[in-house]
Amino acid sequence: MQKRQWKNIKSWVKFALAICAVIVFVVCFVFNLWSPLRKPVTVVVPKGASVIGMTNYLLQNRIIKSGDLFRFSVRLNGGKIMAGEYDIPRGAGVWTIADILTHGKVATTTVTIPEGYTLKQTKKMLMAIPYLSGETDCSSSAPVCHLTEGEIFPDTYRIARGTSRLAVLDLARKKMLSVKESLSGNARPEQLKNWNDVLVLASIVQKETPKIKEMPIVASVYLNRLKKNMRLQADPTVVYALTDGFGDMQGQPLLRGHLKTESPYNTYRNNGLPPKPIANVGRAAIHAVLKPANTNYLFFVADGRGGHKFSTDYSEHQKNHSVWRGIKKEINGVVDYDK
């Protein structure tokens, strides 16, 4: 009797498991596998969109087959869909789509603000990115509406597609505030009075060399010149003045006559540092200024290989510059000017 009962129980268990398997299969098929999508699609949910409105949109665009199942799936996921731009993968069923829309799993992308870009360059770049929205300028009292050079941090930012350009700038602004908070308390060279001076010199170093290992040496040159009350004579400051803050000659050469440009940013005509940074700077340039190399260098010139030759006296600098002029002439037949 007991053996027969045990066999019956085992039979019922097997039957129940089989039924469960069928139910799971059906649910998976209906909610996930039963999909009309043969390729990925992008779905934009506007702000304030209703579940019914989105159901109709998905049906009309053949993204789902059953409006009832989609609404039921949304209800099981909390009942609300979130605005945003979404990437729906190939073969996604109503449950997957509902899960994506109700949990705000928006499509993301990255925006990179290059080190050494000016504010104007950055805004131009952001305006050219199609998956961002809105303008780069505004007139409210928000800090992002009143950015000045050096107030944003060049970095790669992961954002939702459709993010406003002002929001990207504000992310970069807040990142720079964080960097300032972490570094502004550090000891700085005596020639630099405050954080603004640090950023100003870092921006010049940033524009002078792309080589991180070379930055502390370039920083030492300018700090040595400041200590001796020599003019910095930094080409990037002239470029910044000539281009009205854009910071790029866009293929045009820098000529001897340009060095006479009247501007508080022109370090060929003015002693000391410019009033504000001439670009937005990364950590390496800031660190180079805070911890410069210990050198006696007062001059440097390009070496034709992406780096520079450094010298302690003007006669040696003239020799190095003569070599550079020859390299320039060989490359493009143009000699810009003699320092």
240 close to 203: Cβ distance less than 8 angstroms? no
| CATH 3.30.1490.480 placement within the chain | 26-102
Strand-pair partners of 42? 87
Nearest to 96 by CA among 79, 73, 80: 73
Give the pLDDT score at 107. 94
Give the pLDDT score at 338. 44
Is 4 buried (19+), middle (13-18) or exposed (0-12) by CB count in 10 A? Answer: exposed
The CA distances from residue 256 to 11, 95, 235, 336, in Å, are: 97, 68, 11, 7
Which residues of the chain are under the pLDDT cut of 50?
A: 1, 21-22, 24-26, 29-30, 335, 337-339
Quick: pLDDT tens for 145-192.
999 999 999 999 999 999 999 999 999 999 999 999 999 889 999 999
End-to-end CA distance of the chain: 109
Residue 215 and residue 117: Cα distance in Å, rounded?
17
Give the pLDDT score at 33. 53
Give the pLDDT score at 60. 95
Give the pLDDT score at 101. 96
Question: CATH classification of 26-102, choosing from 3.40.50.300, 1.10.3720.10, 3.90.1150.10, 3.30.1490.480?
Answer: 3.30.1490.480
Q: How many CB atoms lie within 10 A of CB 93?
A: 24
**Helix (H) or strand (E) segment spanning residue 16:** helix 2-28
Give the pLDDT score at 193. 97
Give the pLDDT score at 3. 55
285 close to 300: Cβ distance less than 8 angstroms? no
Give the pLDDT score at 170. 98
300 close to 218: Cβ distance less than 8 angstroms? yes
- DSSP E strands in the chain: the ranges are 41-45, 84-88, 108-112, 156-160, 299-302, 308-311
Q: How many CB atoms lie within 10 A of CB 222?
A: 26
